[in-house]
Amino acid sequence: MVLMEELRIVLASSASDRRRFAAFVRYHVRRRYGGTPRPSQILLFAERKGRICGTIALDFADDQTRFPLEAIYQLDSDPPPFFREETAQFGKWWATRPGASIRLMHTAHVFALSHGKRFGIAEAKPKIASYVARLGMSLQEVPGAILLAEAGLARGEGYYRMPPPPRLYMFNLTENLAALSNYMEDAKGS
């Protein structure tokens, strides 16, 4: 299913697309951090001339299931400070081509909202949090969230080995989608 043209944003719905997504993420994560990232439910990728040039993943949960990030962060409250049914977990945001990361994030927000989600959660290191802020998006650190780095390392995820450590954030999908839309519109006019 193609969600945008030119630089195509694709929902990985076939086994072949899912394998291509996984191979791209594994290659870049191993090269940068070592280890292998955990799988996700919903996979979107950017493609140009038949080659993947960016990825983003979403996970949904409900009152019976937890988000993958809940196994890596100890939360100060039970229940957590978000409603799982209204929240999407964002991850595996990676791009090798200018503009791909913004288009992927925009599409992921639209997709999550179209599935009844109102909020997002994601982990990010300071450099990515700063980049997201430059796009006009707003992240709020999840109060009392403590990274259990050994949980990530035990799963073979080298991302947690390299300083600085990531932090867990929440955000409003509608507000951040508006910010991304404005950023993209301004970029067109430049």
Angstrom distance (rounded) from CA 188 to CA 185 = 5
Residue 51, beta-bridge partner list = 48
Helices and strands: H and E segment counts in the chain: 5, 10
Q: Per-residue pLDDT tens for 23-35? A: 999 898 888 887 7
Cα dihedral 19, 64, 176, 125 sign? negative
How large a percentage of the chain has pLDDT more than 70? 91
Domains in the chain: boundaries: 2-189
pLDDT by residue, tens only, the chain of 190 residues? 344 448 999 999 999 999 999 999 989 888 888 777 778 999 999 999 999 999 999 999 988 888 999 888 988 776 677 789 999 999 999 999 999 999 999 999 999 999 999 999 999 999 999 999 999 999 999 988 999 877 666 555 677 778 898 999 999 999 999 999 999 998 887 6
Q: Is the previous residue joined to 143 through a cis bond, with omega within 30 degrees of 0? A: no
CATH architecture assigned to 2-189:
3-Layer(aba) Sandwich (3.40)
Angstrom distance (rounded) from CA 52 to CA 24 = 7
Return the pLDDT at 2. Answer: 41
Return the pLDDT at 1. Answer: 38
Return the pLDDT at 130. Answer: 97
Angstrom distance (rounded) from CA 190 to CA 56 = 26
Q: pTM for the complete prediction?
A: 0.91
Q: How many CB atoms lie within 10 A of CB 4?
A: 14
173-189 and 100-114 helices, crossing angle to 10°? 140
DSSP alpha helices (H): ranges in 49-146? Answer: 100-114, 126-134
Which tokens sit at 181? 């839309």
